[in-house]
Structure 1
Amino acid sequence: MGPRQCQVCNLVQSKYKCASCYLPYCSLVCFKKHKESPCVKPPSSEVKTSAALESPVKKPIVIDEPIEVLQKFQLEAIASSSEIRDALNDQALQELICRIDCSPNAENEFDKAMAEEAFRLFTDKILSTINP
């Protein structure tokens, strides 16, 4: 399956897909426009074809220390932080996070990302939010 066109603007190759209905879109602007109307998960027959669109990197979740797992109140603090939400609007930061998440060697990508000031500031905001 080759590259797909954004189904919102129909102008650009899509980089992303909606988590609910798997509609291909190219940017945050198109995603927000798509979310203006409700979308639904496709029937199970379409879900099988969409599995091919998912990330090929399957990483097991390895937890060396239980203390590494965030508590519910910490996750809620991150989700409710306007500073963190504002930072996540930055396209370059979104791309960095996606690069880390999609990498077979996430630790190496994370180390590279830490060289960038915007990412370092972002991680500092998260750490200060979960450990006030």
Structure 2
Amino acid sequence: MGPRQCEVCKEAQSKYKCPSCLIPYCSLPCFKKHKEIPCAKPVSVEAKPPLILLRERSYEVGEQSWMLQKAQLESVATSNEIRDALKDEELRKLICKIDCSPDAENELDKAMEGQIFREFTDKILSIVSQEQSVVAEKR
């Protein structure tokens, strides 16, 4: 396969690929322009299923105020700080252990005893509270 054209500017030869959607781009300015619109990894028909599937669970929430709003969830999901933290294999294993446990609440309590998980949850709470402040200011 020969050199590919930058999919952003359509002028230069691409040197890089977007880590998310794999489109070719030629430079940092083109990458920044491309990232102005969220992208995702292309889904292949022959794609293998992920090794770890997190189960979807429904939980009864005592107070409506405990539920995160869509903007709060999006802030957590798009946070570079959270994404960087999730690169830690120990943290990912803890999260999977909690998710796969029949007694998830007990596993969560155990995980909170460790520094890495506490720091991770503190980061999430910080992002959620910042987003909550932004929403409150808009009202």
TM over 0.5: yes
| 1:91 equivalent in alignment to 2:96 | no
Any stretches of 5+ residues in structure 2 without a counterpart? 1-40, 131-139
Give the share of equivalent positions with the same residue, in percent: 49
- 1:82 and 1:115 map into 2 onto residues whose CA distance is 25
Residue 117 (structure 1) aligned to one of 115, 118, 125? 115
- 2:92 and 2:46 map into 1 onto residues whose CA distance is 24
Whether the 8 Å CA contact 1:59–1:104 is kept in 2: the answer is no
TM-score (norm 1): 0.57
- 1:54 and 1:123 map into 2 onto residues whose CA distance is 21
- SS of the aligned residue for 2:71 comes to helix
Residue 64 (structure 1) aligned to one of 62, 65, 88? 62
Q: Alpha-carbon deviations, 1:78-122, whole Å to 9, x = none?
A: 012100000001111000000111111111000000111010000
Question: What letter corresponds to residue 100 of structure 1 in structure 2?
Answer: I
Q: Which runs of 4+ in 1 moved over 2 A?
A: 36-42, 57-61
Residue 44 (structure 2) aligned to one of 36, 39, 43? 39
- 1:40 and 1:100 map into 2 onto residues whose CA distance is 31
Whether the 8 Å CA contact 1:88–1:94 is kept in 2: the answer is yes
User: RMSD in angstroms over aligned alpha carbons?
Assistant: 2.9
Which protein shows a greater Rg?
A: 2
Specify whether residues 77 and 40 from structure 1 end up closer, same or farther in structure 2 by C-alpha distance, changes over 3 A only: same
Question: What letter corresponds to residue 65 of structure 2 in structure 1?
Answer: I
Any stretches of 5+ residues in structure 1 without a counterpart? 1-35, 43-49
Whether the 8 Å CA contact 1:103–1:109 is kept in 2: the answer is yes
Question: What letter corresponds to residue 65 of structure 1 in structure 2?
Answer: E
Whether the 8 Å CA contact 1:93–1:118 is kept in 2: the answer is yes
Whether the 8 Å CA contact 1:100–1:109 is kept in 2: the answer is yes
